[in-house]
Amino acid sequence: MLLHMPRQPVEIQVKHLNDSLEQQQLYLAAEMLDKKQQRDLKKQQKSAQKKREKQDVRIFVLDFKGDIRASALEHLREEITLILSMARAGKDKIVLRLSSPGGMVHSYGLAAAQLARLREAGFELTICVDQVAASGGYMMACVAQTIIAAPFAVVGSIGVVAEMPNFYQLLKRLNIDFDVYTAGEYKRTVTVFGENSDEDKAKFEAELQQTHDLFKHFVETYRPQLNIAEVSTGEHWYGEDAIKLNLIDKLQTSDAYLLSLLPDYDVYALHSRAKPTLAEKLGLTAARLGANMVNRALPHVADYAQNVLAEGLNGRLRGPKGLPMVLERFWQR
């Protein structure tokens, strides 16, 4: 990692999407087009490359797949730091493919703050939502100047929820006392094992409301075109309805959007991953070798089975030497 001590060494892979698409086009063309059509395709690709060089604008594509703890944040922050150190503010652009149903407030608050670094540095940020960007996921999405969502993508859920069981009545029936000692009037409000008073519950709900107010203020800051009172009820909407409420700006899949960028811009996808350890590398190598051996042996095993069946039907396996003879022939293959 660049600015943080890593739990495990991380590497960032870069893929030039223009080159990848052109290579796949050539592979397909070799199977379905004649020589002249293949030459024409190559000319078109070279012409598109010159056009991109003239435009001299690069698009950097990031991915964020969120869980309740926003675990992908560790990689996102490093990718953003790398972009800020290499890309040209005001010229290059950023696209984030986002998928998250939300989670912990502090985790998604930091994830949204990481994206805000891009806007503060002068980059144009577009976020694509193919499936879901709700609650903390939408907190991240609203930082972008442009939000693009698929027609059935789920967005919104601008609300806060907290759930916890309470075992006080069970412990009371079992004659078990549970004591909590605190210093500070509100150090502990509601608790899982103790008795929760009305005052405790009221304080906890007030804290949730405070968090909701901060959430609404954050969204309103980045998307002032929203009617925040209308969309901050905790509800979620599909893309078709979300665009009417100004929660998103455009209906389109991320694939269609990126494909539309390729003719005019050089598009680079960044992907962070933990470097495999030596043991993992050896394990992967062994697995590949084992798979290759199995694949090579399967045709011979099939032949062997057919031979056993045929010779058994012909009566050639009778006697103690019949089966060893067939096995010897199999291994000689």
Task: For 248-270, write each residue's pLDDT tens digit.
Answer: 999 999 999 999 999 999 999 99
What percent of the chain has a predicted confidence (pLDDT) above 70? 82
In the predicted structure, residue 171 carries a pLDDT above the cut 70? yes
- Give the long-range contacts of residues 120-123, CB within 8 A, separation 24 or more: 121/84, 121/89, 122/89, 122/90, 123/83, 123/87, 123/89, 123/90, 123/92, 123/93, 123/94
Given this model, what pLDDT does residue 122 score?
Answer: 95
Confidence of residue 58 (pLDDT cuts 50, 70, 90): very high
Question: What are the residues whose beta carbons fall under 8 Å from the beta carbon of 184, sequence distance 6 or more?
Answer: none
- pTM (predicted TM-score): 0.78
Within 158-277, where are the H helices?
Answer: 168-173, 198-222, 228-231, 239-242, 254-261
In the predicted structure, residue 312 carries a pLDDT above the cut 70? no
> Which SS3 state, helix, strand or coil, does residue 163 take?
coil
Compute the distance between CA of residue 133 and CA of residue 141 in angstroms, rounded to an integer.
7
**Is 50 known to be catalytic?**
no
Compute the distance between CA of residue 135 and CA of residue 216 in angstroms, rounded to an integer.
11
Residue 16 tokens, joined = 């030039």
Pairing of strands 93-100, 58-65: parallel
In the predicted structure, residue 68 carries a pLDDT above the cut 90? yes
**Is 187 known to be catalytic?**
yes
What is the rounded average pLDDT of the residues 91-102?
A: 97
How far CA 25 is from CA of 18, 22, 160, 253, 254, in Å, comes to 11, 5, 47, 21, 20
Which of 270, 275, 273 lies closest to 9, judged by CA?
275
In the predicted structure, residue 276 carries a pLDDT above the cut 70? no
Catalytic residue from among 99, 100, 107, 135: 135
Which of 248, 225, 270 lies closest to 59, judged by CA?
270
Domains and CATH numbers, the chain: 10-157+238-274 (3.90.226.10), 158-234 (no CATH), 278-332 (no CATH)
Count CA atoms closer than 13 A to 43's CA, side-chain side. 6
- Count Cβ atoms below 10 Å from residue 102 Cβ, excluding itself: 25
Catalytic residue from among 54, 187, 244, 321: 187
Confidence of residue 84 (pLDDT cuts 50, 70, 90): very high
In the predicted structure, residue 199 carries a pLDDT above the cut 70? yes
Radius of gyration from C-alpha coordinates of the chain: 30
Compute the distance between CA of residue 131 and CA of residue 236 in angstroms, rounded to an integer.
12
Confidence of residue 239 (pLDDT cuts 50, 70, 90): very high
Given this model, what pLDDT does residue 143 score?
Answer: 97
Given this model, what pLDDT does residue 121 score?
Answer: 96
In the predicted structure, residue 138 carries a pLDDT above the cut 80? yes
Residue 214 tokens, joined = 């901060």
